[in-house]
């Protein structure tokens, strides 16, 4: 340190000399306890940064506290900031059930246990206990998927975007016989963009398939598909308009009609379902989301959907359909690059088991939220209002709407009871809530802070109330 010469060092010799050396700081009890928590290398680096910063302050002629205590305090703050996890738990009070920015679907208890078990030790990921030989990793969720959906075969990959890419690449991508790729027919009304940069035409381009657009934005007829089919056609793709609706002068063939012409021309029909519900959403007053079972029954050869949207499981791309098609995908090199990991497969199998046992509504968090009765939500809101009124907060219970989110079921609302807090500034309050531990993500409407109990997990309730109480102080 003494080697560093700064132009003004001669003017402030006392202060400069009073900066302690790292070794002396490390040998003190405070230094030792920092080392115990953070490890020596990190503490040395943080102390060095603290002393560098102090030296710069001195050079600027600032009057700063150079006692050991102050230096240790700054070092600790720096270490905490370096090590603070960027991926942290938050409380979702927005009423958006499948909130993509907040991690989509929370897992069920059984799925969490399955992940825990798989993470903690070794597993039969690719090991067949009966033969003692190598087994298949993809087997774990696949048998359950076939049982649930009636499909001949299934394959699980990293996410649905990867599933669509794999299907298009393997079935219509460039080959030696067709170096330019082959035709994938899709309606102009289905060239959609889902959030996070997933655009159907871009994924098709990436796969090397030839995009063959048919029909118009609002109307596509069966004859448009028929007219587009030629020797270069590899497949017909249908993509679900997950995040918007079309009303008015619109039409498009049913899946069954598409399946009929696909079969007649010996082409596979692919269905990107997006969310892919396994349960009927109509029972909760929502528009029926196309179910995987319906799609397969209507004659689709390959249906693809996400694991963490309405299924309520881990991030995954699930493919179900005919063995001949799935086998082709399984053997493609891209399948290896986008394979699902053991934690995903463990969580997915456990999630799917809830559907098999008929307990999805009571065990899977997104379905618990969707099916939560309005009076139960109202009772929670009332209870919170009682608690918060006691600390002087102005609380009301108002009617409102929760949404499904996650690019699923656009415009679909579930009636809910909201806790509305009147505060001096809703913006300032929401900033304060985001700074809490765990952070609370709320909504603002008409300068009121809005809390929707529907998406607040039971485990989050005490923390939520503690943070909201803080607004009353
Ligand atoms: C959400 C969605 C995707 C992307 O799925 P991920 O699992 O997020 O990769 C693809 N297609 C449709 C129609 C979707 O709704």
Q: How, if at all, do strands 317-321 and 302-306 pair?
A: antiparallel
Distances from the Cα of 118 to the Cα of 137, 248, 367, 427, angstroms: 13, 50, 25, 43
- Residues 266, 269, 270: CA angle, nearest 5 degrees: 150
**Among the listed residues 242, 181, 241, the one whose alpha carbon sits nearest the alpha carbon of residue 212:** 181
- Residues 420, 424, 430: CA angle, nearest 5 degrees: 60
Mind listing the pLDDT tens digit of every residue in the chain (473 residues)?
A: 444 444 444 444 455 557 889 999 999 999 999 999 999 999 999 999 999 999 999 999 998 899 999 999 999 999 999 999 999 999 999 999 999 999 999 999 999 999 999 999 999 999 999 999 998 888 889 999 999 999 999 999 999 999 999 999 999 999 999 999 999 999 999 999 987 788 999 999 999 999 999 999 999 999 999 999 999 999 999 999 888 888 899 999 999 999 999 999 999 999 999 998 999 999 998 888 889 999 999 999 999 999 999 999 999 999 999 999 999 999 999 999 999 999 999 999 999 999 999 999 999 999 999 999 999 999 999 999 999 999 999 999 999 999 998 777 777 899 999 999 999 999 999 999 999 999 999 999 999 999 999 999 999 999 999 999 999 87
Q: Which amino acid residue places its CA nearest to atom 6 of ligand 1?
A: 160
Q: Which amino acid residue places its CA nearest to atom 15 of ligand 1?
A: 274
Q: 202-205: long-range contacts (C-beta < 8 A, 24 or more apart)?
A: 203/161, 203/164, 203/165, 203/168, 204/168, 204/237
Distances from the Cα of 345 to the Cα of 131, 147, 296, 316, angstroms: 22, 16, 23, 9
- Residues 441, 442, 446: CA angle, nearest 5 degrees: 150
User: 163 alpha carbon to ligand 1 midpoint, in Å?
Assistant: 9
User: 35 alpha carbon to ligand 1 midpoint, in Å?
Assistant: 46
Task: Look at residue 15 in the predicted model and tell me its pLDDT.
Answer: 54
* Number of Cβ within a 10 Å radius of residue 197: 9
Q: Which amino acid residue places its CA nearest to atom 11 of ligand 1?
A: 274
- Beta partners for residue 303, in sequence order: 271, 320
User: 172 alpha carbon to ligand 1 midpoint, in Å?
Assistant: 20
Segment holding 56, helix H or strand E: helix 40-59
User: 274 alpha carbon to ligand 1 midpoint, in Å?
Assistant: 5
User: 161 alpha carbon to ligand 1 midpoint, in Å?
Assistant: 6
* Choice from 187, 190, 191, 194 to test ligand 1 binding pocket (greatest atom count within 8 A of CB): 194
The rounded distance, in Å, linking the Cα atoms of 163 and 292 is 15
- Per-residue pLDDT tens digits for 196-213: 788 999 999 999 999 999
* Choice from 101, 156, 161 to test ligand 1 binding pocket (greatest atom count within 8 A of CB): 161
User: 305 alpha carbon to ligand 1 midpoint, in Å?
Assistant: 7
Atom number of ligand 1 nearest to Cα 273: 13
Task: Look at residue 14 in the predicted model and tell me its pLDDT.
Answer: 53
DSSP code string of 252-297 = ---HHHHHHHHHHTT--EEEEEET-BSS-GGGGTSPPPPBHHHHHH
Residues composing the chain: 473
């Amino acid at each position: 340190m003494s080697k560093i010469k700064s132009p003004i060092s001669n003017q402030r010799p006392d202060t400069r000399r009073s900066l302690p050396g790292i070794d002396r700081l490390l040998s003190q009890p405070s230094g030792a306890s920092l080392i115990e928590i953070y490890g020596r290398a990190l503490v040395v680096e943080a102390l060095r940064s603290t002393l560098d910063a102090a030296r710069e302050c001195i050079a600027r002629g600032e009057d700063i506290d150079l006692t050991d205590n102050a230096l240790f305090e700054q070092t600790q703050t720096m270490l905490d900031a370096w090590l603070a996890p960027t991926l942290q738990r938050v409380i979702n009070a927005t009423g958006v059930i499948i909130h993509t920015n907040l991690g989509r679907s929370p897992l069920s208890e059984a799925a969490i246990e399955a992940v825990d078990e798989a993470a903690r030790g070794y597993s039969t990921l690719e090991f067949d206990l009966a033969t003692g030989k190598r087994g298949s990793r993809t087997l774990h969720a696949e048998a359950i998927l076939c049982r649930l959906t009636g499909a001949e075969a299934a394959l699980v990959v990293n996410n649905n975007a990867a599933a669509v890419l794999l299907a298009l690449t393997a079935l219509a991508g460039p080959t030696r016989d067709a170096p330019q790729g082959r035709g994938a027919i899709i309606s102009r009304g289905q060239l959609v963009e889902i959030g996070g940069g997933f655009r159907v035409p871009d994924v098709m381009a990436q796969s090397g398939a030839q995009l063959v657009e048919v029909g118009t934005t609002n109307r596509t007829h069966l004859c448009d598909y028929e007219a587009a089919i030629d020797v270069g056609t590899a497949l017909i793709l249908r993509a679900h308009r997950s995040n918007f609706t079309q009303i008015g002068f619109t039409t498009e063939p049913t899946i069954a009609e598409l399946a009929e012409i696909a079969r007649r021309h010996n082409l596979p029909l692919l269905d990107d379902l997006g969310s892919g519900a396994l349960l009927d959403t109509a029972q909760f007053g929502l528009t029926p989301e196309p179910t995987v079972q319906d799609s397969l029954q209507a004659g689709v050869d390959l249906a693809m959907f996400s694991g963490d949207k309405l299924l309520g499981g881990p991030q995954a791309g699930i493919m179900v359909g005919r063995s001949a098609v799935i086998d082709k995908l399984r053997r493609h090199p891209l399948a290896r690059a986008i394979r699902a990991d053991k934690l995903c497969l463990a969580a997915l199998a456990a999630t799917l088991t809830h559907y098999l046992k008929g307990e999805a509504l009571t065990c899977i968090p997104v379905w618990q939220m969707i099916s939560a009765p309005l009076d139960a939500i109202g009772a929670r809101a009332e209870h919170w209002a009682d608690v918060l009124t006691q600390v002087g907060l102005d609380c009301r219970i108002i009617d409102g709407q929760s949404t499904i989110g996650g690019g699923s079921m656009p415009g679909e609302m579930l009636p809910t009871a909201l806790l509305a807090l009147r505060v001096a500034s809703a913006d300032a309050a929401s900033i304060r809530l985001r700074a809490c531990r765990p952070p609370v993500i709320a909504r603002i409407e008409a300068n009121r802070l809005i809390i929707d109990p529907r998406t607040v997990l039971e485990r989050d309730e005490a923390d939520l109330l503690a943070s909201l109480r803080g607004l009353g102080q």
